[in-house]
Structure formats: structure tokens, C-alpha cells
Structure 1
Amino acid sequence: MKKQLLTAVMVCSALVTVAQDSIQPATSKVPFEGMNLTWINGQNRQSSSPLSLTDKNGETILTATVLTDVYFNYNFARPKDNTQTISASTGRTNEFTINQASIGIESNYKNVIGRLWLQTGNMLHIVQEADGSVARGRNTGTGDLKFIREAAAGYHFNVAYGLNLEAGIFMSYIGLESYVLQENWSYQRSMVCEFTPFYFQGARLQFYPSKKYKTELWLLNGWQSYNSWSRNIGFGNSNYYRPSENVQLVANFYYGNDTHIAGSERLSKVRRFHHDNSIVARYYRNPGSKGITQAAFSLNNHYGFQAGDGVKAKDNYMTGSSLAHRVWFNKNKLALTLRGDYVTNPGGYLAFAPAAPSAQPNAYDKAIASGKSLKMTQLSATFDVMPSDYVTFRMEFAHRNANVPYFAGSGGTTSQTGFTSDPVDPDWLPDLVKTENRLILAVNFRL
């Protein structure tokens, strides 16, 4: 979601009110002013940013952020290659892994928007390896941009409650959950957010016609792609409505040309459409309590398809939903989240490949080729310990199930030995199973 997403800071008194938007200047009209949105799924939970530089008049010049996220993911199947499959949140099992290390600066000094986030870590490679657009032409490739999480330049216009025009690389607006796992209620993202983009390259226009509503128009190179799949650009639209501090309603749309006909000079005419909507609502709040201090839920629904050039929407679509419930305790220093989600993807055009392609079709390849639709469910329970705004200790149990062999079994998905450096036995096939159980321990630091 995707999801979606990312950290943006409003200056001065508006700092805590907006996430995933550009920095806003201190004007007489500030969108979402007075709303503390740090409880929302997919938003930064920090109420302030200590790394700010101001000029002699007290106006913020720039804000800096440092982030480190480390996890230990125990897969009960114990794959021999230590490779976690079907996840963009975790890529390794049974070992300590730096998932994300990132530093960034953001500014809207004198209405000029500037943003640069640098990154490295395991999650970077998982996400970028899914970008097939870098095979089109030369002067492309993730090598050009791989360590840039987000970079943009633009200008803020004092129109209504704000109008921002920006171009660059952005975190995706599709989906509810964020690319930054610290911002989500769960560590392993829902699968509807895992199967949708994490970044876009293009330009966007953000407009705040009122204090409680934001709409965005996007021109994009494509569906999670640095480069374009064809001569056509993609189009996007995102809408946020917050009638009060306790409710957020979101509707997102995407339309573009995002496929390639293997071995053909002819550009594909397949068009992709995707829509997601969500509601996040806090129905209880008692900040001074030593017991339950907050309770909220989030519901994120997805529908999409691709069609054209002989591809039929009825055979190539995606539907899914994710429902999460979170309860905070002890003045928001402890929290428990329960989540259930499902996704079905006939044709598998968005689903992760469980293993590298080979001459012999594996169990998943055979199932999809026979016309069987992928159906997957996921249940998770997450317990967070948050002694301060700057650190989170997280423990999570996740169970997943699919109607076809889809997850890594004990034999792994790399080779018969588990090493890429060894010749692969021509008779070897990846070990795929229908169920998976994992225990994730994580700690993240953010300043």
C-alpha cells in the first residue's frame, strides 16, 4: 500500500498533523490543523522531530530524520537457504538482518519544497528486484537510483489551504500501510499492500481545498517502475478526508500501461487499473489511563485488473482486504494489534513469484498455468513496546495459508544445497508448501 506511502513534516505548530504529505509552510490556513494523527495505521507515530534547523527569525529551514530497523525472522519451516519468500517486509529467515537504514532531510523554506531520503538494507533489494522496467533500453537500472528512497523538488503555493507541485521519486500512495515498517501497526504488511507499489517516479499536484480534505493528481512512469514500459505514462489520483482527529477516509486510483510482450518488438496494449479505499477510526481514547489508553481499527480494500491485447479482465484481476484492530495500553507505551487479510489474484499478474524461473515448472507455476486462481489468507498478532517516541520493540506471530503450494518449505527455493554458487541439479525443484508460520522480533530507532 503500499503501502504508501510517506513521512512529511509540517513546520512549527503543524508538525504533528500531517504524514505522507509534503512539508507545509506556517500560513494562516494549515490543513488538518490541531489534529494529532500519530495513532493512524501507516503514519509516523512521533509527535515531534528534534532534528530541525531554524533561521534567526525562528522559521524552520530543514528537518532531518535518521531511521534504523533490524529484525530476526524465525520461519518454522527453517528453509535451508535462509530465504524468506512471498514478503517484501522480510527477506531472510533465522538470522539477524538490517532491514532498513535511512537518513533524510526535508524543507519548505520560503515555500521551496526539497526532499532527499537515502536508504540501504534488505528491504531495498526485495522491492527493487520487482521492477522489470529497467530492462527497457539503456541508461536505466536500479543502480542509478537504488540508494535513494525519495527525492523531490517543487514549490508550495498559498492557495486555499495549500497547493504543492512536485517532481521526483516518491513513496507510493496506493494502499494503507507504509513502506516504512515503523509507521505500520504490524511488521509484516498485509498482502494487498505487499502486492501493490512501494514507489513511483513522476510528478504530483497536491491540493488542500479545505482544512479537512486533500486530493492529489499524479503523472507516473508506471506501476512501481523507475522507467516507462511503453510510450504512455500512467495516471493516478489520491484522496484523503479527515472529518475529525478520530477518522480518516481514503480513496486511491491508478491507470496505466505496465506489461511487456516477451520477445516482441510490439509494445503491449494491456492496461492496468487499480483502486483501493480505507477507513481508519479511533473509537476510544483515555490518554491518562494506566490501562487502555486508545483503541482503533483499520479496513483497507483493493480491487484491480488488467485487460487488452487478448488479456481478459475476468482472468486477470486482484481483490483483497485487510482488517486490523489495535489497542494501546499504559499511556501508549504498549500496544497489541490483531489483523486478518486475504487476497485473490487470478492470473498471478501481481503476485510474487515463489522461486526463480527454471526449465521445470514448480508446483505453483503448474497451478497458475492450469488456470487455478491464487487465494491467500494471513493472520497476525503484534505486540509493541514503545518506551519513547524514538524506539519500538516489536514481537509478531504470523500465520499464512494458500490454496496452492506457495511458501518456502524446508528444502528452500534456491538450489538443492541452498547456495547460488553451486550448480543446480536439473531434476531439483523448489520446495513449496501451502502453509507458513513465523515469529518476528524487531527493533527500530527513529530520530
Structure 2
Amino acid sequence: MNKYFAGAAALTLNALLAGSALAQDSIPKTKIPFEGMDLTWINGQNRQRNFPLTVTDKNGETIFTGVALLDGYFNYNFARPKDNTQTISAATGRSNEFSINQASIGIESNYKNVIGRLWLQTGGMTHIVQEADGSVNRGRNTGTGNLKFIREAAAGYHFNVDYGLNVEMGIFMSYIGLESYVLQENWSYQRSMVCDFTPFYFQGARLQYYPSRKFKTELWLLNGWQSYNSWSKNIGFGNSNYYRPSENVQLVANFYYGNDSKSGTTELSKVRRLHHDNSIVARYYKNRSADGKGISQAAFSLNSHYGFQSGDGVKAKDNYMMGTSLAHRLWFNNNKLAWTLRGDYVTNPGGYLAFTPAVAGAIPNDYDIAIASGKALRMGQFSTTFDVMPSDFFTFRIEYAHRIANVPYFAGPGGTTSQTGFSNDAIDPNWKADLRKNENRVIVAVNFRL
């Protein structure tokens, strides 16, 4: 998912370069990658140009930058599931009630070539993403409680080689995909399914190298696919590549290889997983007039994924994921308003990456029956989003989203928890999760960020 990766610049020059207080990359003092490029318009990037929570030393050099974020939403699901549970989404976990999605504070530093980053978090999205990590059941002295409130934490060092060489270790936002973990950075609130079904974080080490002003490549050593711990005897490997020939075009190619998920009841994982995604984001119009009236910018993004897993009796032809997401965005009134249209499609035979709409095995549901019978999941999504952005620090967003699947997959009025809608009530053996083949929602979200 790039769910999370936001950027290509250090905090000292974020406003000029990547405009991202979430920047995972650090800037050399002599040669500056992507120098002079305004990247704040890109899907998956923070649009901030100013960072008021910056602390400098007596010489004016930035010591660290602090960041604060609050994201809340009201997600109206027209099916009105009785348990108010929103299924098949890592962006919204509840429906028909007000929810705090993410509250986060953090500091980032690149002081005297020493890289440091610590982000803390809480909110509904934490429960959806981090607490589903089954790798923490391998052995002792582990668990999601150790790490789930840490969104990102890393330490490293920057070497003045070419346009920059960074070596870091810690917990990072995922480099897979285009859209960010921070929903304000995306053109739409509900992520595309190709991004929602892929990782949001990795624990491991990475090397970032900038051989030129316009290109970045990364090598990763990872515990596994969105896992704090490892599923196997082997580590995972990753590679990410960014090419920006100008500030109007971004080309990305990402790769992952590892052994993931448990094999049987006694064996460590022997299932090999390979995943690739690529994307192009292009701005084809920018209004350079002084008045800023009418359309101020126009851009599109295309993000495509293909991956599979095989081994230990698992066949790639029955366990692969393929999908794409196309979005188009118009900005108005000096970028104070924006309108986005997006369509995406994904197929995932075997369902090894797809969300489960109800607790598998515990609650009978038609999705489990369809997948067990060999039917491949195919799903499409369309959304239209309108943003009001009076400043870099505030976003009001309203979005309509329609989704459709070839198997019963989305929550119906009966919900997916129990016959009463409460998780602490015994489940009637004659009850099963109410699943439908389509879904309609309206999301209203408010975001504050410094």
C-alpha cells in the first residue's frame, strides 16, 4: 500500500521539495535530490509547505520538527448494519456514528546527519491494522501491545555520497502501493482496494540511495509482510524505485519477496510471496496566472499491482492478486478546493490478501463458502470526493463510494457480529453474517495537521 510512504525530503527542506512532515528520507547538505520540485500535489503526499513546530539551534539549523495530526469521520453506510461495523476497509472501521480515525504526534530529525523519527498514534485505524498481526503469536516476549501505538520509529545515519545515502533501522510505513497510511495525504478518503489489501508497515532495515537529483532507489530487509515478527526462518527482501524527471511526473516501481503466513499447525512458513506494484502520477495542467481563478491544477494517478504466493501445496494460479486504480483530480481557487474521481478493480483468487467480512470459521458466511469452493473474488469500486482546504493545516472532505463484488462480501442490515449486533452475546447457531454483493456509502471527514 504505499500507504505510508510520503516523501523524498528532510524536514529542513520539505516545504520546497516533498512538502511532507512524514518524510522518510533525509536530505544531504551539499546535493539535494528533487531540488526545486513542488511535490505537494502528488497522490499520497502531504501538501504542507510550512511546519510551525520546528526547533532550531543558535545557528538556525533545524534540530527537529514536531507534527500533530487528528483525523475524524462520519461514515454513513446505506445498508445500516445493526452492529455499526464497517467491513472491507482499513480506512473506516465503523459506520453511522462519529469516529476518531487517527490521533498522532511525532518528531523527526536530520540534525548533523543523524536521522531520528518517532511517531505515536491511537484511534480506530490502529485497531484495524496493527491488531490483526498474527505473527506476534510466534514465541513469547512479543505482542501487538508492544508496538501498536508506535506508528513509525527509526534511527539511522546520512552519508554525503552523491545525492545522498541513508541507512536506517526500525518500524517504517510501507513502501508498497501509492496511497498513504495518512488519509489526508490521499486524493480520496477510502483507499483503493489494491492499496487497502497490501501492507501498511514494515519492521526491518533499509538503505536509500540517490545517485542523481531525479532518482531514488531503496533496498529493504524485512521481518515480513505487514508483520512485527517473522513467519519463517528467512527474512524478506524489498526494493523501491522513484524517478521524477520533473515536478510534474512521478514514476514508481516496488517489489517484495518473502515467506509469509503460517503453514499448517506445526511448520513455519514455506509459502513464498512475490508482489510488485508500479504507478505513474502526472500533472498535466497548472494555472500560472496571478488571480488563481477557475481550475488551478489537473492531474491523474494510475497504480497497478500484481503478486502471488506459492509453495507447500499452494499454487500461484489459485493464489494471486491483480488490480489497478485510476484517479483524476482537479483543483480550484488557488488549490483551496479539489474534486477527485477514482475507479479501481481487484481480483484475488484464494483471498489471501482480501479482508474477511466476518470472523472466518466462527460466523457462517457466504464469502467463506464461495472462496472455499474455489470461486475467485472480484471487486470494483468507484468514488467521487470533494475537498475544502482553506489552509495547509485543515481539510474538510465529503465522499461518495460505491462498491460491487461477484460474491456476497459487504455488510447488510443484519451485520457481521451476531444476531443482536453485540460481540458479547452468544451467537445463535442458526444465524449467519448478512453479506451483500454491493455497498453504498457517504463519508464526511475533518482533518487537522500541523
Change over 3 Å in CA distance of 1:359–1:197 after alignment to 2: closer
On the 8 A contact 2:73/2:99 being kept in 1, the answer is yes
Deviates more, 1:21-30 or 1:328-337: 21-30
1:345 aligns with 2:348: yes
1:205-234 per-residue CA deviation (whole Å, 9 max, x = no partner) reads 000000000000000000000000011100
Match for residue 75 of structure 1?
77
Which of 134, 137, 140 is residue 135 of structure 1 equivalent to? 137
Q: How far off its partner does 1:128 sit?
A: 1.2
Q: Which moved more, 1:339-348 or 1:123-132?
A: 123-132
1:370 pairs with 360, 364, 373, which one?
A: 373
Deviation at 1:325, TM superposition (A): 0.0
Cross-structure match for 1:115: 117
Task: Give aligned pairs, total.
Answer: 446
Q: Which moved more, 1:305-314 or 1:8-17?
A: 8-17
Matched, 1:280 2:281: yes
Separation (CA, whole Å) in 2 of partners of 1:124 and 1:34: 35
Give the alignment partner of residue 33 of structure 1, picking from 28, 32, 35. Answer: 35
Distance 1:384 1:347, change over 3 A: same
> Equivalent residues in 2 for 1:302-313 (5 A)?
302-313=305-316
Aligned partner (choices 157, 160, 164) of residue 159 of structure 2: 157
The match for 2:414 is 411
Contact 2:379 2:406 in 1 (8 A): yes
Matched residues in 1 for 2:73 and 2:362: separation?
34
In structure 2, do the counterparts of structure 1 residues 403 and 11 end up closer, same or farther at CA, with 3 Å as the change threshold?
A: closer
For 1:375 and 1:411, how far apart are their aligned partners in 2?
Answer: 23
> Helix, strand or coil: the match of 1:344?
strand
Aligned to 1:355: 358
Amino acid at match of 1:422: D
- Residue pair 1:12, 1:26 contacting (<8 A) in 2 also: no
Quote the offset at 1:359 in angstroms. 4.9
Deviation at 1:50, TM superposition (A): 1.2
State the Cα distance separating 1:69 from its structure 2 match: 0.2
- Where does residue 6 of structure 1 map in the other structure? 6
Is the CA contact (8 Å cut-off) linking 2:28 and 2:160 kept in structure 1? no
CA distance in 1, matches of 2:12, 2:347: 44
User: What whole-Å deviation, never above 9, does each CA across 1:176-219 have from its counterpart, x for those lacking one?
Assistant: 00000010000000000000000000000000000000000000
Query: Which residue is equivalent to 1:381?
Result: 384
Determine the structure 2 residue equivalent to 1:399.
402
Distance 1:351 1:23, change over 3 A: closer
Residue aligning to 2:220: 218
Higher deviation after alignment, 417-426 or 292-301:
417-426
Partner SS, residue 397 of structure 1: strand
Distance 1:108 1:418, change over 3 A: same
Which residue of structure 1 aligns with residue 16 of structure 2? Answer: 16
1:226–1:156 CA distance, 2 compared to 1 (3 A) = same
Shift of 1:385: 0.1
Q: Could you tell me which of 314, 319, 323 is aligned with 1:320?
A: 323
301-310 or 359-368, larger mean C-alpha shift:
359-368
Opposite residue 282 of structure 1, the aligned amino acid is R
Q: 1:194 to 1:358 in 2, by over 3 A?
A: same
Q: Is the 8 A contact 1:25 1:109 kept in 2?
A: no
**Deviation digits for residues 122-167 of structure 1 (CA, Å, limit 9, x no counterpart):** 0011001331111111111110001000000000000000000000
Q: Which moved more, 1:330-339 or 1:11-20?
A: 11-20
Deviating above 4 A after TM superposition, structure 1's stretches of 4 or more consecutive aligned residues are: none
**Separation in 1, partners of 2:310, 2:151:** 31
CA contact (8 A) 1:14 1:26 kept: no
Q: What SS is found at the alignment partner of 1:108? A: strand
Matched with 2:426 is 423
* SS of corresponding position for 1:192: helix
Cα distance between partner residues in 2 of 1:430 and 1:12: 51
Asked if 2 retains the 8 angstrom alpha-carbon contact of 1:14 and 1:30, the reply is no
Which residues of structure 2 form unaligned runs of 5+? none
1:93 equivalenced with 2:74 (yes/no): no
Q: Please tell me whether the aligned partners of residues 306 and 316 of structure 1 are also in contact (alpha carbons under 8 angstroms).
A: yes
CA distance in 1 between counterparts of 2:26 and 2:122 reads 28
Equivalent residue, structure 2, for 1:232: 234
What does residue 146 of structure 2 align with? 144
Contact 2:30 2:160 in 1 (8 A): no
1:2 offset after TM fit, Å? 3.6
Alpha-carbon deviation of 1:353? 0.4
TM-score (norm 2): 0.97
How far is the alpha carbon of 1:26 from its aligned partner? 5.5
Q: Which residue of 1 aligns with 2:272?
A: 271
Q: CA deviation at 1:14?
A: 5.2
In the superposition, the TM-score normalised over structure 1's length comes to 0.98
Deviation digits for residues 44-76 of structure 1, max 9, x if unmatched?
011121110010111100011000000000000
Question: Aligned AA for 1:319?
Answer: M
How much does 1:28 deviate? 2.0
* CA distance in 1: counterparts of 2:264 and 2:115, whole angstroms: 40
Indicate the percent of aligned positions where both proteins have the same amino acid: 77
CA deviation digits over 1:275-317, x for unaligned, max 9?
A: 0000000000004421000000000000000001111100000
- Aligned ranges for residues 34-53 of structure 1 at < 5 Å? 34-53=36-55
Quote how far apart the aligned CAs of 1:25 are: 4.3
Q: What are the superposed Cα offsets for residues 12-63 of structure 1, whole Å, 9 maximum, x if unpaired?
A: 4454313464353461200000001000000001112111001011110001
Structure 1 position 422, deviation (Å) = 1.0
AA aligned to 2:445 is A
